[in-house]
Structure 1
Amino acid sequence: MPLTSRTRSASLTLQPGHGDRPDPASGHGGKLDFDGAKPAGTTEAKLRDAEGADSLIVTSFGKFERRERWTILKNVLAISFAFSCLFTAFTGMGNLQSSINSEGGVGNAGMATIYVALIVSCLFLPSLVINRLTCKWAIVVCTFLYSLYLLAQFYPRLYTIIPGAIILGISAAPMWSAKCTYLTQVSGPWALLIRHGDWSSARPSRWIVKFFGVFFLFFQTGQIWGNLISFLVLTPEEQATVSPSDEGLAICGIAYCPGSEEAFNNTNLQRPPKHQINTLVGVYLALGVAASVLLAVLVDSLGKYGENDRDTSASGTRPLTLLLATMMHMKKPYQLLIIPLTMWSGFEQAFLMADFTKAFVSCAWGIHRVGLVLIVYGITDSICSFSFGFIIKRVGRVPLFVVAAALNYAAIATFIHWAPGPDETHVFFLLAAGWGMADAVWQTQINALYGVIFPDTAEAAFSNYRLWESLGYAAAFIYSDLLCVTRKVDLLITVLTIGMLGYFAIELMERRKAKGDMKVTKE
């Protein structure tokens, strides 16, 4: 899903994400060091009224009244709510592509195209688009372009879905980068307003984290609302429901191969009626357009908060420079070791969206129940993503990675040995919850690991993260309509195992390095 923010001591580096989640790395504007140093263009001064109360705070951004902080908060909330609307639509639609647009592999082909386009977009477009349109209008325009992909769902053919997917993938990186830049930029004026213009106690980096926390509080709910809408709209009337035969259920789960439903007439995999699909697409399209309108109407231009003071002099050469830095970064041993686990992050999410939804849930229980099962996934993923930030402080990074891998291995073992059917519905929810818990670790901690092991080359490192995770997504969607589930599960086991071995190698080298540093210090 096209697309968390993390902090490291005195700096915060932010990056646009891909698919349905944002990732921490450098986006437009590079690294921002806010703790202990005053950003250029932040001259603090205060004007007082006759009674001595603070009336204005003057910075090089401009003169702000104290109530300006409510305007900033309004902007943050408007962006957060608009993204929640947009990704309610996108995630809900994306989770159904392998089930409702399976004919000719159109749905999965579109999803693969999104992530291929995203790779190109991340490397070349964010700086160029933002400099041309400004942050606000880059967000508005790019969110609107998502609606073109949703519009194509009314008539899903390769010649409509693929162009829509290309446009969405290209627009995703500038959109996320502009959003990251906006939230980061307004944290400076906000911190000064809260601290009455005293920069020494303002600590904008704290407010960056809080703003992103508010954003993701809204954003993560998109998985829940999107799936709830699909469940409610696609639920058939009871009298129209026809259960598949035992032969039809026998092809589900690990035994499923693309196209086998036609030979065995599995009624669960029949496409819902056209009017239901159109109603669902109409609801999602309305949410996507509403997101763009809300952003255009409610969000203020970033110019009043110092957008024009940012350094954009290198924007013309940055895409090529970033591409070269990304390629050169692959020479680093740590980068080579972390590539398999990074690709696993894409593989496991794509498997859930394309294969678990179709081969297990849709095949054995019905397409309309995909949303119901994935609501549990979304809730679990959101809660664990928030909770693991506190847990890692107590238990460390390694136990979380081990638990996540164990959850995935346990789920894969269930995929292999379980014959899904409508009489064991609780297993669908348990699998979704376990996969969501593991995904919360992969999405938060792989990002954090990149920040830890590549502290001096964050931009090139996170560019590699985007590249390899997106390749994992694209590869999984491409082979989804070519391989049987048993072969896909073999690939999952292989990629996860190699990824964990690479991760353990990095941890071992880090510990040896730490011991070496301690010995040098003692001597």
Structure 2
Amino acid sequence: MKDKNQISVVKLSDEPATEADETPEFESISQIWRNAIVLSVVFLVLFTAFGPVQDLQSSLFKEGGMGTTVLAILYGAFVISGFLVVTPLINSIGSKWTLVISIVCYITYVAAHFHATWGVFIPAAVMAGMGAAPLWAAKGHYLNTLAHDYAKKKGVSNDAAVNLFFGVFYLFMTSSSVWGNIISSQVLTPSDANYSIAPLSAEELKLCGKAFCPQNTAGNNTNLLRPPESKLYMLAGIYTGCTCIALIIVSTLLQKLPVEMHKSGGLCAKANCKPKLLIAAFLQLKDKRQLLLIPITIHTGLQHAFFGSDYTQAFITCSFGNWWVGYAIICYGTAGAICSLLFGKLVQFVGRIPFFTLAAAVNVTLITIYLSTDITPDNIYRYLIYAAIWGMGDSTWRTQTLSLYGVIFRDNSEAAFSNSMLWKSMGYITAFAYQSRLCFSIKAYILLANLGLGMIGYFTVEYIEYRKCRAAYKFGTAKERKKDVQLSFMAYVDLP
């Protein structure tokens, strides 16, 4: 899922690593990059289909709140799968075949749009949710392994390699919204010569934007009508084809991880699949830093769902028509793709704090604009620019939140990334659950309140890490100081 951008590190052995233990690695840097590109292309093609499908749910299937309710169910299944399925599945069959099975689940959900009813949608959403957590966990484990091998061969820090590989991955991943929404916009744009697009009256426009309420469908507003069935079938056919292509690529071109190829007798034969791994995330809550990061992690999912379901419905579909949603997402995705790669490099020089602050400022500024201005129907480009700026902030939330978890919880990464998955998903579930029941302005204030609480918790964690970093530098040996600063506190590049 576009908006489930989590990574998870799956431990393949409970035994502590020693210098004598040589973990199998890829043979060359070119082989590492080949697999990184293949994995990125798989997600590009897969989310070229799933991304637009998710973004259009609130606009195309608003009757009874079906579209967003189904998404809430999907993300609920995602959370359950994250705790019950991820570790046993990856440890049993490896990252590659976990990706294969997960993509099959996605195909089921996208194909369900050929017959979009509650009875078809709900089981398909459960399947997609159950496959989504293993998909992202396997991706995270695979990409982390590539970055680790790359760092050893190139002699660079592991943090720098992780930032590089995840930056490149999200360049591909985020750009999927461009290609997928070009398709949706072209298909949904009215092409019938007998179909005329009548401008909205002043009274109808007043019910869009900041005053929009999903339960009040603006009377005669033709922009809110469902497209012809023929167009929906065309979209379903194109996107189902994309998901099948992704399945073929990952099955035939992605190599298994060397460490998984050298395992025998089933990876679940050891203690890796014991029930204790299923409750690791709850034990992680004993760490006060994890508790402090819960609100900002929720915000990562909440703000993405707010844009994808609330902004697009209230400002784009209601005011200009659902065929403009794709163009708004293209602007959003393009800005996000560029910033994902750019910020992934810049964070090595200025640290992550400026980027978290920038993302928060973007959200606060845009929400203030949304709540204080009226719709201007003759200037669609203003709202496309707003979408691009929001994409810049979203790229920061997704990449830097994941990086933050990986850096400060290095010694317990599996439990930490499970918590990242859980609380970000809670943001999605909450936003989709109330999307069709609350007015736009109320949802905007909820987002602002959670953001304020989240930034307080985030800055507190940064202060805790700063104090710990200074203590390590002051009291450690020269060799230990270098390791601590390089591996655990990369953000503090100006440490004296």
TM superposition score normalised by structure 1: 0.81
Task: Check the 8 A contact 2:87/2:277 in 1, yes or no.
Answer: no
- Cα distance in 1 for partners of 2:62, 2:15 equals 45
Match of 1:428 among 383, 386, 407: 383
By how many angstroms is 1:153 displaced? 1.1
Cα-to-partner distance string for 1:398-447 (whole Å, 9 max, x where unaligned)? 22222211111110001101222321212212211221111122112222
Q: Which aligned pairs between 1:252-291 and structure 2 lie closer than 5 A?
A: 252-261=208-217, 263-291=218-246
Q: Does 2:311 match 1:388?
A: no
- Cα distance in 1 for partners of 2:132, 2:176 equals 16
By how many angstroms is 1:200 displaced? 7.7
The residue aligned with 1:362 is: 317
Residues 213 and 315 of structure 1: CA distance in aligned 2, closer, same or farther (over 3 Å): farther
The residue aligned with 2:45 is: 85
By how many angstroms is 1:166 displaced? 0.7
Structure 1 letter corresponding to 2:202: D
Moved more, 407-416 or 509-518: 509-518
Task: Check the 8 A contact 1:128/1:316 in 2, yes or no.
Answer: no
Structure 1 letter corresponding to 2:358: V
Q: Does 2:66 match 1:106?
A: yes
Task: Check the 8 A contact 1:185/1:305 in 2, yes or no.
Answer: no
The residue aligned with 2:485 is: none
Q: Does 2:10 match 1:27?
A: yes
Structure 2 letter corresponding to 1:27: V
- Cα distance in 1 for partners of 2:90, 2:470 equals 45
- Cα distance in 2 for partners of 1:330, 1:187 equals 28
Moved more, 222-231 or 423-432: 423-432
Q: Bigger radius of gyration, 1 or 2?
A: 1
What is the number of equivalent residue pairs in this alignment? 474
- Cα distance in 1 for partners of 2:404, 2:31 equals 35
Task: Check the 8 A contact 1:83/1:219 in 2, yes or no.
Answer: yes
By how many angstroms is 1:505 displaced? 2.0
Residues 316 and 113 of structure 1: CA distance in aligned 2, closer, same or farther (over 3 Å): farther
The residue aligned with 2:457 is: 502
Residues 463 and 301 of structure 1: CA distance in aligned 2, closer, same or farther (over 3 Å): closer
Match of 2:185 among 221, 224, 231: 231
The residue aligned with 1:249 is: 205
Task: Check the 8 A contact 2:355/2:396 in 1, yes or no.
Answer: yes
The residue aligned with 1:138 is: 98
Match of 2:81 among 121, 124, 138: 121
By how many angstroms is 1:214 displaced? 4.9
Task: Check the 8 A contact 1:41/1:309 in 2, yes or no.
Answer: no
- Cα distance in 1 for partners of 2:341, 2:420 equals 21
Match of 1:173 among 124, 133, 158: 133
- Cα distance in 2 for partners of 1:492, 1:359 equals 16
- Cα distance in 1 for partners of 2:471, 2:92 equals 49
Task: Check the 8 A contact 1:403/1:438 in 2, yes or no.
Answer: yes
- Cα distance in 1 for partners of 2:412, 2:384 equals 41
Task: Check the 8 A contact 2:79/2:425 in 1, yes or no.
Answer: yes
Q: Does 2:176 match 1:222?
A: yes
By how many angstroms is 1:395 displaced? 3.0
Task: Check the 8 A contact 1:376/1:433 in 2, yes or no.
Answer: yes
Q: Which aligned pairs between 1:457-468 and structure 2 lie closer than 5 A?
A: 457-468=412-423
Cα-to-partner distance string for 1:363-405 (whole Å, 9 max, x where unaligned)? 1111000000111110111111111123223333222222211
- Cα distance in 2 for partners of 1:70, 1:387 equals 23
Q: Which has the higher contact order (CA 8 A, sep 6+)?
A: 2
Task: Check the 8 A contact 1:88/1:226 in 2, yes or no.
Answer: yes
- Cα distance in 2 for partners of 1:71, 1:460 equals 30
By how many angstroms is 1:294 displaced? 2.7
Task: Check the 8 A contact 2:80/2:130 in 1, yes or no.
Answer: yes
By how many angstroms is 1:225 displaced? 0.7
Paired residue secondary structure (2:405):
helix
Q: Does 2:276 match 1:321?
A: yes
The residue aligned with 2:285 is: 330
Structure 1 letter corresponding to 2:449: T
Paired residue secondary structure (2:96):
helix
Percent sequence identity is: 36
More helix by share: 2
Match of 1:40 among 10, 18, 22: 22
By how many angstroms is 1:178 displaced? 3.1
Task: Check the 8 A contact 1:407/1:434 in 2, yes or no.
Answer: yes
Structure 1 unaligned spans of 5+:
4-18, 43-58, 193-198
The residue aligned with 1:353 is: 308
Structure 1 letter corresponding to 2:180: G
Structure 2 unaligned spans of 5+:
478-496
By how many angstroms is 1:299 displaced? 3.8
Structure 2 letter corresponding to 1:97: Q
The residue aligned with 2:466 is: 511
By how many angstroms is 1:70 displaced? 7.2
Cα-to-partner distance string for 1:132-166 (whole Å, 9 max, x where unaligned)? 44443322222122011111112212211111111
Paired residue secondary structure (1:308):
coil
Moved more, 73-82 or 332-341: 73-82
Residues 441 and 179 of structure 1: CA distance in aligned 2, closer, same or farther (over 3 Å): closer
The residue aligned with 2:430 is: 475
- Cα distance in 1 for partners of 2:471, 2:33 equals 47
Structure 2 letter corresponding to 1:29: L
By how many angstroms is 1:311 displaced? 8.6
Structure 1 letter corresponding to 2:364: Y
The residue aligned with 1:491 is: 446
- Cα distance in 2 for partners of 1:83, 1:348 equals 22
- Cα distance in 2 for partners of 1:81, 1:151 equals 21
The residue aligned with 1:13 is: none
By how many angstroms is 1:32 displaced? 12
- Cα distance in 2 for partners of 1:271, 1:346 equals 27
